[in-house]
Amino acid sequence: MSRSRSSRDKNVAQPLVSRTTRSWSSQTKHPNPAEPDESQQSLCRKMRRKRTASPLGQDLGQIGVNEQDVLYSSCSKEKKSRTSSDPLRATSSSLSSSQSGLSSVALLVKRGRCKKVVVVAGAGISTASGIPDFRTPGTGLYANLEKYNVPYPEAIFNIDYFSNDPQPFFSLAKFLYPGGHRPNYIHYFIRMLHHKGLLLRVYTQNIDGLEKLCGIPDEKLVEAHGSFATASCHLCHTPYPSEEAKCAIMSDNVPTCSFCAATVKPDVVFFGEDLPQKYFLHTKDFPKADLLIIMGTSLKIEPFASLVNTVGSSVPRLLLNRHAVGPFERVPLRRRDHMELGDLAETIRRFAEFLGWNGEIEEMMKDREALSIPAPVSISPQKDQTFNLSRKSEEAEPDSETDSKSSASSNASK
């Protein structure tokens, strides 16, 4: 695990305020202290009990959905099919376990049970925009770094390796710099949560800037691993004009600090570097959350990965991903955990349809895209460059924080 420079000498006194650095481990554990481990047999026994006495059970019972279907959708394959005279209950029982999880969480949102939604997002939300994720075999960024001759894939984002050889990262940065890709339906789904007044915060691992580009305001966004919006010296942290850094990198030059002559880089958080101060909003946000949506992430990068374990034990957690990750790998799932595995873009669209938001999201996408004036600028790739480096003009200024208020008038018109 990588360490910050200040912690390498054990004899140096530790600072009063602890520093949190980005690290990676393939053996990351995801403890779940709020929920005791239970055998599958005892959990299934609990599933058979009526829970209509709880407020959640009473609320959902009014619309024909038993609470155990909401809280234990992951085990529905092991339950016998149940019939009911209520049409909605009969329809719910015919859904698959994952579909039942999506519909159940959608019902909670529609009934007003979830008003402080926290979203945790990874690289998987940007693949539909043409940006590869990191770890998908064959297509991920880490699987296509042979030409950079790095000793291991993560080295391209390692601060010590960058100090010795910045060129591999700068070559990759040409592709990653914002402006060449557009937000997709998934990004606009997150913005719709804000538009509806439901988004407490979105925590993203991405450095592509697409969350901001689709109109999610800065105060609702935590870019936990930094961004390309600013640049500074990697050694003394002296600020450097971001546009000058971009021009140098695009021209295959190495920007250098005018103060100490060390290499300048975009303020992307590398392994071994401190996370931005805004990241620590999680200490207030996650205890407040009443719904956690996790999407498009491998949950392998710490400390970001452990955030999902800091919500209350009664808070529903919904994983939308290609594979089960982190605490969702345990069998059986924790109570109030749901997951839908498969293509993320299709899953989000289905979730939006359950919520009745699909038309609004598509209209939002059209309105947002109409604000930009396409002006593609070609950048000559290197002969061995495998990525498409065509770029477009920057977007117009993000919308103001009036989204959540304007939703009231649209709902009234319905």
**Residue 173 is part of a domain; what is its CATH number?**
3.40.50.1220
Same domain, 86 and 207: no
Last residue of a domain, one of 41, 75, 110: 110
Residue 204's φ and ψ, nearest 5 degrees, are -120, 145
**Res 149: pLDDT:** 76
The stretches of 82-135 forming alpha helices (DSSP H) are 87-93, 97-110
Range of the domain at 85: 55-110
Model-wide pTM > 0.75: no
**Res 6: pLDDT:** 36
Same domain, 105 and 196: no
Same domain, 165 and 275: yes
Q: Where does 40-198 show beta strands of DSSP type E? A: 117-121
Per-residue pLDDT band for 84 (boundaries 50, 70, 90) equals very low
**Res 5: pLDDT:** 37
d(C-alpha 131, C-alpha 124), whole Å: 9
Cβ of 302: how many Cβ atoms within 10 Å? 17
For residue 214, say whether it is annotated as part of any ligand binding site: no
Asked whether residue 308 is assigned to any structural domain, the reply reads: yes
Q: Of 17, 79, 21, which Cα lies nearest the Cα of 45?
A: 79
**Res 177: pLDDT:** 87
Same domain, 99 and 204: no
Work out the average pLDDT over 150-160.
86
d(C-alpha 380, C-alpha 179), whole Å: 16
Same domain, 147 and 68: no
DSSP secondary structure of 339-401: EEES-HHHHHHHHHHHHT-HHHHHHHHHHHHHT-----B-----TT--S---B-PPPPPPP-T
Instruction: Report pLDDT digits (tens) over 229-262.
Output: 999 999 999 999 999 999 999 999 999 999 999 9
Q: Which helix (H) or strand (E) holds 292?
A: strand 291-295
Same domain, 86 and 174: no
Asked whether residue 93 is assigned to any structural domain, the reply reads: yes
Asked whether residue 41 is assigned to any structural domain, the reply reads: no
Location of structure tokens 């949506």: 293
Same domain, 323 and 191: yes
Work out the average pLDDT over 310-325.
95
What is the three-class DSSP state of 70?
helix
Q: Of 219, 190, 240, 197, which Cα lies nearest the Cα of 351?
A: 190
For residue 236, say whether it is annotated as part of any ligand binding site: yes
The strand pair at 221-223 and 226-233 is best described as unpaired
Asked whether residue 97 is assigned to any structural domain, the reply reads: yes
Last residue of a domain, one of 110, 128, 156: 110
Same domain, 195 and 335: yes
**Res 189: pLDDT:** 98
Asked whether residue 358 is assigned to any structural domain, the reply reads: yes
Asked whether residue 15 is assigned to any structural domain, the reply reads: no
Asked whether residue 231 is assigned to any structural domain, the reply reads: no
Same domain, 284 and 160: yes
Do 263 and 254 meet the contact criterion of CB atoms below 8 Å apart?
yes
Overall domain count for the chain: 2
Same domain, 179 and 72: no
Same domain, 386 and 301: yes
**Catalytic residue flag (residue 234):** no
To the nearest whole number, what is the mean pLDDT of the chain? 74
Last residue of a domain, one of 65, 90, 110: 110
> Which of these is catalytic: 181, 195, 225, 282?
225
Same domain, 283 and 192: yes
d(C-alpha 375, C-alpha 18), whole Å: 46
What is the three-class DSSP state of 283?
helix
Work out the average pLDDT over 137-162.
75
Q: What helix, strand, coil percent values describe the chain, rounded to 5?
A: 40, 15, 45
| Range among 19-33, 76-90, 159-173 rated most confident | 159-173
Work out the average pLDDT over 276-293.
97
Asked whether residue 396 is assigned to any structural domain, the reply reads: yes
d(C-alpha 302, C-alpha 136), whole Å: 19
Residue 375 has pLDDT above 50, yes or no: no
Instruction: Report pLDDT digits (tens) over 206-235.
Output: 999 999 999 999 999 999 999 999 999 999
